[in-house]
Amino acid sequence: MPKIVDHDLYRKELLSKCFDLFAQKGYSAITMRQIAEGLNVSTGTLYHYFPSKQALFEQLMEEICEQDELMAKAELEGKQTLQERLEVLGKYLAKNEDYYIKWIYLQVDFCQHQDSKDIQGRGTFRHATQRYQQAAHDILGIQDPVVAWFIFSLIDGLIVERLMDNEMVSITEQFSLLSKMLTAYLEKPLSNKSYNG
Amino acid sequence: MPKIVDHDLYRKELLSKCFDLFAQKGYSAITMRQIAEGLNVSTGTLYHYFPSKQALFEQLMEEICEQDELMAKAELEGKQTLQERLEVLGKYLAKNEDYYIKWIYLQVDFCQHQDSKDIQGRGTFRHATQRYQQAAHDILGIQDPVVAWFIFSLIDGLIVERLMDNEMVSITEQFSLLSKMLTAYLEKPLSNKSYNG
Amino acid sequence: MPKIVDHDLYRKELLSKCFDLFAQKGYSAITMRQIAEGLNVSTGTLYHYFPSKQALFEQLMEEICEQDELMAKAELEGKQTLQERLEVLGKYLAKNEDYYIKWIYLQVDFCQHQDSKDIQGRGTFRHATQRYQQAAHDILGIQDPVVAWFIFSLIDGLIVERLMDNEMVSITEQFSLLSKMLTAYLEKPLSNKSYNG
Amino acid sequence: MPKIVDHDLYRKELLSKCFDLFAQKGYSAITMRQIAEGLNVSTGTLYHYFPSKQALFEQLMEEICEQDELMAKAELEGKQTLQERLEVLGKYLAKNEDYYIKWIYLQVDFCQHQDSKDIQGRGTFRHATQRYQQAAHDILGIQDPVVAWFIFSLIDGLIVERLMDNEMVSITEQFSLLSKMLTAYLEKPLSNKSYNG
DNA sequence: AATGAATGAGCGTTCATTCAT
DNA sequence: TATGAATGAACGCTCATTCAT
């Protein structure tokens, strides 16, 4: 009888602990030794669960994509008006700013890393993009994809500004402005609402 | 001492050629040898002009910050209305999308790198942030800083989406929407225009 | 204690399956994991039967030495004339060329490995050498040790040439020549037959 | 101006010093660090001259093949009769036994290593084989290829026996026997001299 | 008896950096 | 000024071996 360990469960446990490590130093800069130390295991054990640094990173991305979606959905459940939803979303982002800064770090790393290496895991990201769009419908109740991507882009941009330590930008403040702009825009009776309407 | 002039000139020349190299692979992943090769000089020569990889990177960031601001200003010179300016800015960004994707890569790298290493060059970035805000005034003619940062954040976010290869997002389209939303919002007679307006 | 019997039997069973594994990759290049996989057991089980990689290898050598001698004897049983015996031996070697190539690989590995490491198992090989000489008597009916070692050396050399993928060398052809040369030499009435008579 | 080093010359110098190192421990068992130490350079320098361990080994093989041929030719130059040549060759091999034991170690390593890895450098060896055959003509003045390969195989086999520390085998003694057998065989008037003679 | 998770030293290789020329 | 040879610490990864189960 082997040592009783749920291989897959432990793998996921390790995975979730890697998030901060990768985000803080970046994919290339962090070493497997540092990750192992951060996880309180030996390098050998780390390689027992993940075949390579790249595989570890890709598995992490996938895992986080899933969790991120679930978290966002859970947060917005039951909110009715757009204003209400935006407010909740803004507060949620502001509260979890640190998390989303790390998340952006990871995503940018992933893309940079994808550009130069073999095009593994491209599917993962495509998939994520589609899910995000779907999430826009589900979460915000917005039909127009241009508006949906406007909001998502703004969110990304706000996180990026915060990541750059820009203290002039407040997520809640910006969400408040977004809410007003959106209201003004959507209420305006005349003209087509979006470029390709 | 005419040599000094040559030295500095050549240094800036090398610097500008480093942009793509750092952006494509990331700070940690690219090697001094690769940079030297890309610059068609020996590693010795590279170290003759830059004391270290970190210094090279920091000098590059500073250089790009300056150039970026100049380019943006030049682009928007003479435009009068906000709509006109946004349109020109959107087209400019769309046209130079690849450049700005690289620019974002660089900035994110820089921040990640700053977080973990000695806090060198923090000044550089702070400075840049202030300049950006100033640019909002000068370039877009927008007084309200919240609105200015809204636009800058959106721009960052759009670039990030493009960087992630999100083909659902079109910069010009989004700028068109921004223009309309902004118009609707600013025209609306009632209520205060911004959170802390 | 019937378990002891099983244990030893199973150990020999595993041992014989190791032959190809060591021969194909070499002592240093093959890993205990690969051996375990090749034997369809876990590394733990492998270590249950053999205290170390080195011990496993040494036990293998001993085992093969014994089997090799038995096989050769069995093959030549009942042959009367030298010519007849040489022919049978040549055919046998040609037929089992692959086996003897592997055997040479193993022996060379063993010696190389002996030279550098602790001088364990030196006895094994000495022993084997003496047995080979004895075999020359028994198997070929040759009294003169110089001639006996001539033949053994030639066999080794032919295998080495085949191992080096030398397609110009045919074992049967060479044995045919050996037979003729030996006949011519032994028939020649004059002079002492070997260097040190 | 760079440090003045004849890159290629130094490379060959390092190469020739690697011979013993590889021969003593075997390709897989010796480490690049050990080689570097043996060469009195850093691992970095070693990699400056050789792109990989495999490449180093292959270059070594090629180098030794060339030198080996030259040495053998130089040794036998001017000898007239076959007996004389065999005697000289035997003495030469006996004197350089240690060298040829190492050479065999290297060759066997190379083949084992070739079998399992990419089939690089196969050409090298084929080439060497042909050169050896050519050498048989030039060096020994033997026309019949079967006899030529008989002698080469015997040489290989003698070296292998010595490598296995078989003290019963003396190279000069065996060469003396070879000489006599060959004389007896070649003098014998009747019958065809060799298989395809 | 048998498993496979765990370890950490050590592997082949790379890298920022130094320095003789 | 400019070169590229040299260094050795550190990288991603592997391995023989141990041990809890």
Q: Over the stretch B96-116, which tens digit does the pLDDT of each residue have?
A: 999 999 999 999 999 998 877
Residue A193 has a pLDDT of 47
What CA–CA distance (Å, rounded) separates D160 from C164? 14
Those nucleotides of strand F lying less than 7 Å from any protein Cβ are 1-21
Residue D189: the pLDDT is 61
For residue C147, the Cα-to-chain-centroid distance in whole angstroms is 19
**D88, D79 contact by CB (below 8 A):** yes
Q: How many angstroms separate the CA of B48 from the C1' of E16?
A: 14
Question: What is the model's pLDDT at position B119?
Answer: 53
Residue D168 to residue C133, Cβ atoms within 8 A = yes
Question: What pLDDT was estimated at residue B39?
Answer: 96
Query: Nearest Cβ partner of B111 from A113, A163, A187?
Result: A163
- Using CA coordinates, name the residue in chain D closest to C22: D112
Asked if B26 and A24 come within 8 Å (Cβ–Cβ), the reply is no
Chain C partners (3+ C-beta pairs within 8 A)? D
What number is the average pLDDT over the span C169-179? 96
Residue D29, C-beta contacts closer than 8 angstroms, at least 6 positions apart: C27, C28, C112, C113, C116
Give chains near A: 3+ CB pairs under 8 A. B
Query: Is 50 exceeded by the pLDDT of residue A194?
Result: no
Q: How far apart are CA A70 and CA A67, in angstroms?
A: 5
Containing H/E element for D135?
helix D122-135
Is residue D99 within 8 A of residue D16, CB to CB? The reply is no
Query: How high is the pLDDT of residue C127?
Result: 66
Please check whether residue B163 is in contact with residue B171, taking contact to mean a CB–CB distance below 8 angstroms. Answer: no
Closest partner residue to C174 among D146, D182, D196, by Cβ? D146
* C-alpha span between C3 and C11 (Å, rounded): 12
pLDDT of residue A197: 35
CA angle (C140, C144, C146) in 5-degree steps: 100
- With bands split at pLDDT 50, 70 and 90, how would you rate the model's confidence at D3? low
Mean per-residue pLDDT for A56-60?
A: 95
The DSSP code sequence of D73-127 is HHHHTT--SHHHHHHHHHHHHHHTHHHHHHHHHHHHHHHHHHHHS--TTHHHHHH
pLDDT over 90 at C105, yes or no: yes
Please give the radius of gyration of chain B, using alpha carbons only, rounded to the nearest integer. Answer: 19
Closest C-alpha to A89, from A163, A21, A151 = A151
- H helices present in A27-121, as ranges: 32-39, 43-49, 53-76, 82-95, 97-116
Q: Indicate whether B196 pLDDT > 70.
A: no
Question: What pLDDT does A134 receive?
Answer: 73
**For position A50, what pLDDT does the model report?**
98
Q: Is a pLDDT exceeding 80 seen at residue C125?
A: no
> Where does residue A189 rank: exposed (0-12), middle (13-18), buried (19+ CB within 10 A)?
exposed
Mean pLDDT across A163-179: 93
Closest CA to A102 of A149, A64, A63: A64
Give the best residue of A130, A151, A168, A176 to mutate against chain B (max B CB count within 10 A): A168
CA of C32 to C1' of F17 (A): 10
pLDDT at C190: 54
Distances in whole angstroms, Cα of residue B161 to Cα of each of A89, A121, B175, C139: 19, 17, 14, 82
D121 pLDDT tier (thresholds 50, 70, 90) = low
At A88, the amino acid letter reads V
Give the pLDDT of residue A51: 97
Asked if pLDDT for residue D157 goes beyond 80, the answer is yes
Q: State the best of A82, A108, A125, A126 to mutate against chain B, taking most chain B CBs within 10 Å.
A: A108
Name residue C117's amino acid: K
Please name the member of A28, A133, A187 whose beta carbon is closest to the beta carbon of B28.
A28
Nearby residues of C174 by Cβ (< 8 Å), 6 or more positions away? C90, C154, C158, D146, D149, D150, D153
Q: What is the mean pLDDT of residues A181-185?
A: 93
At A65, is the pLDDT very low, low, confident or very high (cuts 50, 70, 90)? confident
The amino acid at C103? W
Residue A68 confidence class, pLDDT cut points 50, 70, 90: confident
Q: What is the pLDDT of residue A146?
A: 92
pLDDT band at C194 (very low <50, low <70, confident <90, very high): very low
Judge contact between C101 and C162, C-beta under 8 A: yes
Task: Please give, rounded to a whole number of angstroms, the shortest distance from the CA of C44 to a CA of chain D.
Answer: 24
pLDDT by residue (tens digit) across A16-37?
A: 999 999 999 999 999 999 999 9
> Would the CB atoms of C125 and D165 count as touching at under 8 Å?
yes
Assess contact for A147 and A194: CB atoms under 8 A: yes
Mean of the per-residue pLDDT values of chain A: 86
* Alpha-carbon distance C9 to nearest alpha carbon in chain D (angstroms): 30
Distance of CA A13 to the CA centre of its chain: 19
DSSP C149-185: HHHHHHHHHHHHHHHTT-TT--HHHHHHHHHHHHHHH
Inform me whether the pLDDT recorded for B83 exceeds 90: no
Which of C61, C93, C168 to mutate against chain D (most D CBs within 10 Å)? C168
CA atoms of A9 and D93, how far apart (whole Å): 64
| pLDDT tens sequence across A71-109 | 877 887 777 788 888 999 999 999 999 999 999 999 999
Q: State the SS3 of C14-75.
A: HHHHHHHHHHHHCCCCCCHHHHHHHCCCCHHHHHHHCCCHHHHHHHHHHHHHHHHHHHHHHH
- Does the pLDDT of residue B54 top 70, yes or no? yes
pLDDT at D104 over 70: yes
The pLDDT of residue D118 is 60
- Check whether A119 has a pLDDT greater than 60: no
Report the pLDDT value the prediction gives residue B135, as an integer from 0 to 100: 72
Residue D126's pLDDT is: 66
Cα D99–Cα D101–Cα D105 angle in degrees, nearest 5: 115
Q: Is the pLDDT of residue B2 over 50?
A: no
SS3 B60: helix
Across the interface, whether the CB atoms of B129 and A188 are under 8 A apart is answered no
What is the mean pLDDT of the segment spanning B141-157?
90
Task: Using an 8 Å CB-CB cutoff, list chain D residues near C185.
Answer: 180-181, 184-185
Rounded to the nearest integer, the mean pLDDT of chain B is 85
Question: What's the pLDDT at A17?
Answer: 96
- With an 8 Å Cβ cutoff, are A160 and B104 in contact? yes
- pLDDT category, D16, cuts 50, 70, 90? very high
Q: Is D149 within 8 Å of C168 when comparing Cβ atoms? A: yes
Chains A and B touch, using 3 or more CB pairs below 8 Å: yes
CATH number assigned to the domain with residue range A7-187, chosen from the 4 options 3.40.50.620, 3.30.465.10, 1.10.357.10, 2.40.50.100: 1.10.357.10
Task: Please give the average per-residue pLDDT across C19-46, as a whole number.
Answer: 96
Provide the angle, in degrees to the nearest 10, between the axes of the packed helices B97-116 and B82-95. Answer: 80
CA C95, distance to chain mean position in Å, is 15
pLDDT of residue B94: 95
Q: A118: distance to nearest CA of chain B, Å?
A: 13
pLDDT score at B197:
35
- Over range A126-149, report the average pLDDT: 77
Predicted confidence band at B73 (pLDDT cuts at 50, 70, 90)?
A: confident
Residue type, C172: T
Between C10 and D139, the more confident residue is: C10
| A111:B164 CB<8 A | yes
Nearest in space to A29 (alpha carbons), one of A115, A140, A113: A113
Q: Chain C residues with CB inside 8 Å of D127's CB?
A: none
Tell me the average pLDDT across D13-25: 96
Q: Which range has the top average pLDDT, A138-147, C12-21, D105-114?
A: C12-21
Residue C117: pLDDT over 80: no
